[in-house]
Amino acid sequence: MGASLRALGQKAKAASREIATAGTAAKDSALLEAADLIEQRSDWLLSANAADVDRSRGSGMGATQIDRLGLSEARLAAMAAALRQVASLPDPVGEVAGGWRRPNGLRVEQVRVPLGVVGVIYENRPNVTSDAAGLCLKSGNATMLRGSSSAIESNRAIVSCLREALGKAGLPEDAVTLVEDTSHEAAVEFMRLDGMIDCLIPRGGPSLIASVRENATVPAVIDGDGNCHVYVDKAADIEMAVSIMANAKMQRPGVCNAAESLLVHADIAADVLPRMRSALDGVELLGDERTRAILPGIAVATDEDFATEFLDLKLSVAVVGDLSSAIAHIARYGTGHSEAIITEDLRAAERFCNEVDAAAVLVNASTRFVDGGELGLGAEIGISTQKLHARGPMGLRELTCLKYVVRGDGQIRQ
Amino acid sequence: MGASLRALGQKAKAASREIATAGTAAKDSALLEAADLIEQRSDWLLSANAADVDRSRGSGMGATQIDRLGLSEARLAAMAAALRQVASLPDPVGEVAGGWRRPNGLRVEQVRVPLGVVGVIYENRPNVTSDAAGLCLKSGNATMLRGSSSAIESNRAIVSCLREALGKAGLPEDAVTLVEDTSHEAAVEFMRLDGMIDCLIPRGGPSLIASVRENATVPAVIDGDGNCHVYVDKAADIEMAVSIMANAKMQRPGVCNAAESLLVHADIAADVLPRMRSALDGVELLGDERTRAILPGIAVATDEDFATEFLDLKLSVAVVGDLSSAIAHIARYGTGHSEAIITEDLRAAERFCNEVDAAAVLVNASTRFVDGGELGLGAEIGISTQKLHARGPMGLRELTCLKYVVRGDGQIRQ
């Protein structure tokens, strides 16, 4: 197993050198061709997926997981549309991000280049296969995809469309490879392909992230939890606060940029909290003591609740004495994803933006906007909650790095 | 041990929140004060260092290592000068690196902010203590320093100057902390301070790097080997090629941006190689077959030699048939550090720049310029050979990250 995975890694590495210098037109043509193939071969893709779904159902997979695994004509159309969308985005490769001349005449430039080989390890959504490969291809990277065993037939079929499209565009098919060994041992080996994988992106739950932290020896960008807060300042527009909170919690509760916790300034809590309860109809509220004094019916929020990303119609609520306490609460329980303040007070807004340590801070807007599409990146391969390399939504630019190009006319160092 | 290291990490984390928003004037004043203290207390620092040197000599440390460990008035003056130099550089924090408005009116900005806590693990040069802490302080980061046991007295004394200077400037002393437990177990624990260390920078030899790859669970930037090549193209100015090669190899052979390998185009090898041998007087040459046909006296270069960073007056030499072979040789043996081409041919230069995958590619200039100071970054904390986060010399900007600040007036997601 180890040998064949390394052989696959070497193929990906070789392909990455070719695709790194490929022109935009060839890459776009491969993306459009792949989109067409996915639509043209929908019957075949759906039957491969049906085999995965049957097998998984037979082995007792739950309904939510089955839903994630399942494809449909509509989902295939969305995958094709995503590939076409990526084709329409500007190519990040070749941008000169900066440049200057040194006193000795050396001309220094920082040029944007692909990372090389991007390894993606993920769970059972088959659309990640085409989404991730498409973004990597457009940014000039080779991709090694390691999906779950439950989706293996679907992934094989999708990858074959992508590889055929690469070939038709005159690009190396090995720029997209699927790791077919879905054992745990192969996953660990995959995270340790030093010298082959330049960037590992895990997309999945806490156990996958923990395994990457523990086992990976290649550089990784962690797409971690989102325990996101909405803080309603004493100078908030209360109607706006209620509307944003309801949106941040309820518009799509199962995603990482949904809010999990509400903090309300003590001075306005008696007014705000009952209105929040009405607006958050269907959401289970868990409150601290001061919250429960105003909303006596609700359950107690424990320390653990404040630290939990519910990904559900559940919300922890605390009353805080001032902005500093809100910032301290977020520092203690937040995961550095997205944090919002609702206020009309300029100083409070600026302090919140400066002092809250998160990938994204928002003033008077829903946390749900922290997403590659919504922020204007066009698409995203994940949302980084670490600080190295990329923070927040990762788009095409975040799949590149800067290389120094230094031009001289014979300079030597004194 | 584990408990006290975690306690230290928590103090550093708390201090990082304060120093992240400190003004430039306070940070500069701490840097200048630290420089003054290091000079004023030179007797005390030198006696602490003498204790380290005596102890290390007694335990059989070699002369090269002792030289690295030793301080002198001149070395202390250089450390103070480096701190003053960092104070004079522009503060990277607060730069708005980009910004735009979305169709729904949201204003999106990417603002440069400190990383948080930077962990530095290093070997026995005591100047790394003040250099690393100074760069981190200027960029608004807290630093946890884990030097070697051999330098513990020197490091304690230097850190006490830095902490006193922070206090005098009204900044938290815990923004610079020294890990005094220099056991191997503490080093491993240090690399696993998740949630405390935002960026780990190892500065040391291959065994330290290997240990970081194996053990670290926090994000790291690897400052790896430099197996750097100079390729002399058939269209090279031969005099320039000889002068650059001699500089790249001999000006300071023990550093990572020194060249370790010479590649010469076959068409000019008979002319170039004898001139190289004269210019590289004192350098041991190891050649492939074609090189030895022209320079019959020299030893055989094995595959391993071509893969070795000698850090010494030793050079592997190969004759290549064309530019493609040179690029393939570099892809096979290079470590992605610094690679140079000597040519007057525009197309060859551009192909080399595009196709060679390294932190820095140079045209008609010595590899020795790949250094934070020489490239104009003002100073550097290391040279990254990975692609994530930073590539090449890491200056103040590379000790920061970008945070999204999103301002709205009540936007919710549809």
pLDDT in tens, B52-99: 999 999 999 999 899 999 999 999 999 999 999 999 999 999 999 999
Q: Considering the domain boundaries, does residue A299 fall inside one? A: yes
Q: Considering the domain boundaries, does residue B245 fall inside one? A: yes
Comparing C-alpha atoms, which of A394, A37, A8, A408 is closest to residue B404?
A394
Query: Which pLDDT score is estimated for B52?
Result: 97
CATH number at residue A307: 3.40.309.10
pLDDT digits (tens, 9 = 90+) for B324-359: 999 999 999 999 999 999 999 999 999 999 999 999
Assess whether pLDDT exceeds 60 at residue B2: no
Residue type, B197: I
As given in the structure block, the two tokens for residue A100 are 């200057």
Cα–chain-centroid distance for residue A326? 26
What is the enclosing helix (H) or strand (E) of B113?
strand B107-114
Q: Considering the domain boundaries, does residue B383 fall inside one? A: no
Assess whether pLDDT exceeds 70 at residue B225: yes
Residues 354-383 of A with CB under 8 A from B: 354-355, 357-366, 368-370, 374-376
Q: Do A250 and A216 have their domain in common? A: no
Q: Do B71 and B183 have their domain in common? A: yes
Q: Model pTM?
A: 0.94
Q: Considering the domain boundaries, does residue B385 fall inside one? A: no
Exposure string over B226-264, b if 16+ CB within 10 A, otherwise e: bbbbbbbbbbbbeebbbbbbbbbbbbebeebbbbbbbbb
Query: Which pLDDT score is estimated for B223?
Result: 84
Q: Considering the domain boundaries, does residue B379 fall inside one? A: no
Assess whether pLDDT exceeds 90 at residue B205: no
The DSSP output letter for B280 is T
Q: ipTM value of the model? A: 0.94
Number of domains forming the structure of chain B: 2
Q: Do B37 and B137 have their domain in common? A: yes
Query: Which pLDDT score is estimated for A2?
Result: 57
Among A199, A240, A407, beta carbon nearest to B388 = A199
Q: Considering the domain boundaries, does residue A383 fall inside one? A: no
pLDDT digits (tens, 9 = 90+) for B141-180: 999 999 999 999 999 999 999 999 999 999 999 999 999 9
Average pLDDT over residues B99-127: 96
Assess whether pLDDT exceeds 70 at residue B1: no
CATH number at residue B50: 3.40.605.10
Query: Which pLDDT score is estimated for B224?
Result: 82
Strands of A142-146's sheet, edge to edge? A176-178, A142-146, A117-122, A199-203
The CA distance from A61 to the nearest CA of chain B, in Å, is: 31
Q: Is residue B117 within 8 Å of residue B9, measured between CB atoms?
A: yes
Q: Do B216 and B233 have their domain in common? A: no
What is the dihedral angle through the alpha carbons of B354, B357, B363, B364, rounded to the nearest 10 degrees? -150
Q: Do B69 and B194 have their domain in common? A: yes
Q: Do B274 and B171 have their domain in common? A: no
Q: What is the mean pLDDT of chain B?
A: 96
Average pLDDT over residues B25-35: 98
Q: How far apart are CA B352 and CA B255, in angstroms?
A: 24
A195 CB within 8 Å of a chain B CB: no
Cβ distance of A404 and B368 shorter than 8 Å: no
Cβ distance of B370 and A406 shorter than 8 Å: yes
Assess whether pLDDT exceeds 70 at residue B126: yes
Q: Considering the domain boundaries, does residue B402 fall inside one? A: yes
Cα–chain-centroid distance for residue A142? 19
Cβ distance of A369 and B106 shorter than 8 Å: yes
CA angle A222, A189, B302 (to 5 degrees): 115
Cβ distance of B412 and A368 shorter than 8 Å: yes
Residue type, B43: D
Query: Which pLDDT score is estimated for A1?
Result: 47
Which residue is it, tokens 């820095």? B360
Residues 17-56 of A with CB under 8 A from B: 17, 20-21
A203 CB within 8 Å of a chain B CB: no
Q: Do B60 and B184 have their domain in common? A: yes
In which band, very low, low, confident or very high, does the pLDDT at B3 lie, cut at 50, 70 and 90? low
The CA distance from B48 to the nearest CA of chain A, in Å, is: 34
Q: Do B234 and B196 have their domain in common? A: no
Cβ distance of B387 and A198 shorter than 8 Å: yes
- With beta carbons under 8 A apart, name residues in chain A contacting B20: 357
The residue length of chain A stands at 414
Q: How far apart are CA B72 and CA B125, in angstroms?
A: 12
Average pLDDT over residues B109-128: 96
Own/partner pairs, B168-173, CB within 8 angstroms, 24+ separation: B168/B29, B168/B30, B168/B33, B169/B26, B169/B27, B169/B29, B169/B30, B169/B33, B170/B26, B171/B18, B171/B19, B171/B22, B171/B26, B171/B27, B171/B30, B172/B14, B172/B15, B172/B18, B172/B19, B172/B142, B173/B15
As to burial, measured by CB atoms within 10 angstroms (0-12 exposed, 13-18 middle, 19+ buried), residue A39 is middle
Q: Do A56 and A180 have their domain in common? A: yes
Which residue range is the domain that position B349 belongs to? 228-371
Q: Do B184 and B317 have their domain in common? A: no
Among A100, A359, A408, beta carbon nearest to B376 = A100
As to burial, measured by CB atoms within 10 angstroms (0-12 exposed, 13-18 middle, 19+ buried), residue B59 is exposed
The CA distance from B153 to the nearest CA of chain A, in Å, is: 32
Q: Considering the domain boundaries, does residue A414 fall inside one? A: no
Q: Do A124 and A258 have their domain in common? A: no
Q: How far apart are CA A390 and CA A399, in angstroms?
A: 9
Q: How far apart are CA A134 and CA A27, in angstroms?
A: 9
Comparing C-alpha atoms, which of B104, B330, B204, B41 is closest to residue A362?
B104
Query: Which pLDDT score is estimated for A117?
Result: 98
Q: Do B181 and B300 have their domain in common? A: no
Low-confidence ranges of chain A (pLDDT < 70): 1-3
- With beta carbons under 8 A apart, name residues in chain B contacting A357: 17, 20, 113, 116
Q: Residue B202 pairs with which residues in a beta bridge?
A: B121
Q: How far apart are CA A178 and CA A143, in angstroms?
A: 8
What's the per-residue H, E or C state across chain A? CHHHHHHHHHHHHHHHHHHHCCCHHHHHHHHHHHHHHHHHCHHHHHHHHHHHHHHHHHCCCCHHHHHHHCCCHHHHHHHHHHHHHHHHCCCCCCCEEEEEECCCCCEEEEEEEECCEEEEEECCCCHHHHHHHHHHHHCCCEEEEECCHHHHHHHHHHHHHHHHHHHHCCCCHHHEEECCCCCHHHHHHHCCCCCCCCEEEEECCHHHHHHHHHHCCCCECCCCCCCEEEEECCCCCHHHHHHHHHHHHHCCCCCCCCEEEEEEEHHHHHHHHHHHHHHCCCCEEEECHHHHHHCCCCEECCHHHHCCCCCCCEEEEEEECCHHHHHHHHHHHCCCCEEEEECCCHHHHHHHHHHCCCCEEEEEECHHHCCHHHHCCCCCCEEECCCCCCCEEECCHHHEEEEEEEEEEEECCC
- For A132, A226, A397, B95, B406, the CA distances from A370, given in Å and listed in that order, are 19, 11, 17, 21, 9
In which band, very low, low, confident or very high, does the pLDDT at B124 lie, cut at 50, 70 and 90? confident
